[in-house]
Amino acid sequence: MSSLWQWYVSNLSRLEPLHPLLYERIIAAIVPMAGLGRENHVIEFFKDYLRQNPMPRDVIKLSLEKLKINSRMKGATLTPTLGLNCRLV
């Protein structure tokens, strides 16, 4: 899954111009799985991202909640929060 997260980050400039609904579906599909094992990095990435582009805020919050669930199922523990009432503990 590490290559999937790297693909998302490296292709972000090509994904953002897509129709908002399509781009949100990409976020919702990738983040919950590709973020496993790098949860803190993904959270920090989206903190910075949302400062510049608040449009996909809801789908990012939802995706990070799904990431939290997947991480718990995998047995990981998380401590930071995104500041979106989406506490990851």
| Model confidence pLDDT, tens digit, residues 20-62 | 999 999 999 999 999 999 999 999 999 999 999 999 999 999 9
87 pLDDT more than 80:
no
| Alpha-carbon torsion angle 38, 6, 85, 16, nearest 10 | 180
Confidence of residue 89 (pLDDT cuts 50, 70, 90): very low
Please report the pLDDT score of residue 80 as a whole number.
54
Per-domain boundaries in the chain: 2-74
- Please tell me the pTM assigned to this model: 0.77
Enter the tokens of residue 82: 């995104």
Q: Contact at 8 Å (CB) between 84 and 77? A: no
